[in-house]
Homo-oligomer: A and B are copies of this chain.
Amino acid sequence: MGAIFYPRAIAVAGASEVPSSFGYHFIRHLLDYGYQGHIYPVNPNKEVILGLKAYQSLGSITGHVDYVICCLPASKVVDMLYECRAKEVKVVHLLAAGLSETGRQEGRELEAEILRTARRFGIRLVGPNCLGIYHPKGGMASTYSLPQKPGPIGAVFQSGGASQLLVRSGELRGLCFSKVISYGNALDLGESDFLDYLAEDEETEVVASYFEGIKDGQKFLGALTNAARAKPLIAIKGGQGMAGAKAAASHTAAIAGSEVIWRTAFKKAGVTMVRDLDEMVDCLVAFSLLSRIMGNKAGILTTAGGGLCVMAADVCESAGLNVPPLPSDIRNTLKARAPGIWDWIGNPVDASLIVAGASSAFFDLSREMASILSRSPAFDFVLVELTDDNPFSDEEWAEIASAQTEALIGLHRENLKPLAVVVSGGTFGAHVSQYERWDMLSAQRARLVEAGVPTFSSMADAALAIRRYISYCSLSATE
């Protein structure tokens, strides 16, 4: 595995100067992401590719090569493996598609021949039919414009496209990644090998996985259980339904198996199973950005009026969270500082009620409420919902919102208690609306994300992800 993530020299077979080809893309990626080892473009017809000396064949490279990114069509892979043997290459990443996943006899046969050849020569394969590795620390990536900042999340994905969407959606929420592996048809190295690796990997604290089919069930269950014991493991099982299983077969030739069996196995292994990438990103935000939560009592503050408070309480309770009444010490604080409304306020705390007082003392109090909730032993964590529901002018609100955001960031840094923020609305971008406050909400959200505050798009999403995180925390505490 060292040769996969820390190769000293990478050759790109099928290197090209055609900007729409993978042979071009992968050289660009190595250059763009700052790969520090030697890069050897291989193309029999070129002397220079993207400013690098090109080689006629692998054999004509003078230096050592541990890793080959093979952008050649499937029909040329076996010949290339012969070249790799001579060069003592350890790992080959095969992009080539059009093999067993086509469902055709000739595809299956060619794939089998590739595997036989690689095994014979002691060469390990990533793929075929896969985009390979994103390893920001090592300067390796599978597509353009992925973030270069590394972080604690590792991912094993049977689908390269989905893994890229995960990274990009995650970036918008402040998630950073250690290593992301897409392994396609899993002809040689597969889900179990990469799970084993990430379970041990010191750069990885949380693991995300997308599986379609499994080649060796016994081995996989072992790897899954082992990984889920080592660190939180959040997984999607693709191909659970009839049509999905069919799609999986033509995607990665995976035999998907039945939903019930999968659910049982994942649950037994302690895996957090999610439905789609959105839920996965929500869980990764909770699992990697929240400090440990040891109970399900939520202290909730919303800046929106009563209806949003009611719905916040409802979705939290229906997700299995507990929304207890305000304890007497907080009621006493309110009684002293907001005598006109103290007995009217509950949990969720309706900050609009406090703000309706409209004196500056009340603004201070509404901003402090998150901190007051965080200091109370009555709650295991605090959830704050920010909306634009208030009676102020844009200018006034911009000032209030900014103070609110900074107060939340300060509280996050104090780390008295796990804190998450819901910034609802504006999910469709502000393009179609004349309403400037969507941009203001977006800016609040961006500032919170930048500061590392766990941030969600809706109370329902937050409640579900946090409840899953609490289940994980309590499960791992009892082990």
List chain A positions with a Cβ less than 8 A from chain B: 19-20, 22, 25, 97, 101-104, 143, 145, 147, 157-165, 168-169, 171-174, 210, 212, 236, 238-244, 246-248, 250-252, 275-278, 304-318, 323-325, 341, 343-348, 350, 352, 356, 358, 387-389, 391-393, 396, 424-438, 442-443, 445-446, 449-450, 455, 457-460
B241 touches A459 (CB 8 A): no
**Can you pick out 21 interface pairs between chain A and chain B where the beta carbons lie within 8 Å of each other?**
A159-B307, A161-B305, A161-B387, A165-B387, A165-B388, A165-B389, A172-B432, A174-B432, A238-B307, A238-B310, A241-B317, A243-B325, A243-B347, A244-B310, A248-B306, A250-B345, A251-B306, A275-B315, A428-B455, A429-B429, A429-B430
What would 4 more interface pairs be, CB under 8 Å, given A147-B434, A247-B313? A161-B308, A241-B313, A241-B314, A431-B442
Known interface pairs A348-B243, A432-B449, A432-B450. Does A314 touch B238 (Cβ–Cβ under 8 Å)?
yes
From B240, B316, B343, A104 is in contact (CB under 8 Å) with B343
A22: chain B residues at CB < 8 Å are 391
Known interface pairs A159-B305, A246-B325, A251-B307. Does A460 touch B278 (Cβ–Cβ under 8 Å)?
yes
B276 touches A460 (CB 8 A): yes
A173: chain B residues at CB < 8 Å are 428
B161 touches A307 (CB 8 A): yes
A174: chain B residues at CB < 8 Å are 432
A459: chain B residues at CB < 8 Å are 276
A247 touches B348 (CB 8 A): yes
A251 touches B350 (CB 8 A): yes
In the bound assembly, the distance between CA atoms of A388 and B432 in angstroms comes to 20
In the bound assembly, the distance between CA atoms of A103 and B343 in angstroms comes to 8
A252: chain B residues at CB < 8 Å are 306
B431 touches A443 (CB 8 A): yes
B393 touches A275 (CB 8 A): no
A172: chain B residues at CB < 8 Å are 426-430, 432-433, 438
From B161, B304, B442, A306 is in contact (CB under 8 Å) with B161
A243 touches B316 (CB 8 A): yes
A230 to chain B, nearest CB (A): 25
Known interface pairs A275-B315, A429-B172, A438-B172. Does A306 touch B446 (Cβ–Cβ under 8 Å)?
no
A246: chain B residues at CB < 8 Å are 313, 325, 346
In the bound assembly, the distance between CA atoms of A101 and B172 in angstroms comes to 40
In the bound assembly, the distance between CA atoms of A162 and B344 in angstroms comes to 20
B162 touches A308 (CB 8 A): yes
From B158, B165, B240, A425 is in contact (CB under 8 Å) with B165
In the bound assembly, the distance between CA atoms of A374 and B238 in angstroms comes to 26
A102 touches B243 (CB 8 A): no
A103 touches B344 (CB 8 A): yes
A162: chain B residues at CB < 8 Å are 304-305, 307-308, 311, 389
B428 touches A248 (CB 8 A): no
In the bound assembly, the distance between CA atoms of A155 and B410 in angstroms comes to 39
Which single residue of chain B is at the shortest CB-CB distance from A318? B241
Known interface pairs A25-B391, A429-B426. Does A243 touch B317 (Cβ–Cβ under 8 Å)?
yes
From B278, B307, B344, B356, A158 is in contact (CB under 8 Å) with B307
In the bound assembly, the distance between CA atoms of A97 and B357 in angstroms comes to 12
In the bound assembly, the distance between CA atoms of A305 and B166 in angstroms comes to 13
Which single residue of chain B is at the shortest CB-CB distance from A252? B306
From B276, B323, B436, B445, A428 is in contact (CB under 8 Å) with B445
B165 touches A19 (CB 8 A): no
Which single residue of chain B is at the shortest CB-CB distance from A254? B310
In the bound assembly, the distance between CA atoms of A341 and B98 in angstroms comes to 9
A432 touches B171 (CB 8 A): yes
A343: chain B residues at CB < 8 Å are 102-104
A14 to chain B, nearest CB (A): 14
Q: Which of A212, A313, A396 has the most chain B CB within a 10 Å cutoff? A: A313
Which single residue of chain B is at the shortest CB-CB distance from A107? B344
A460: chain B residues at CB < 8 Å are 275-276, 278
In the bound assembly, the distance between CA atoms of A240 and B311 in angstroms comes to 9
From B164, B347, B445, B450, A389 is in contact (CB under 8 Å) with B164
A455: chain B residues at CB < 8 Å are 428
A318 to chain B, nearest CB (A): 6
A347: chain B residues at CB < 8 Å are 243
Which single residue of chain B is at the shortest CB-CB distance from A212? B310
A344: chain B residues at CB < 8 Å are 101-104, 250
In the bound assembly, the distance between CA atoms of A147 and B433 in angstroms comes to 8
In the bound assembly, the distance between CA atoms of A347 and B388 in angstroms comes to 41
In the bound assembly, the distance between CA atoms of A354 and B425 in angstroms comes to 36
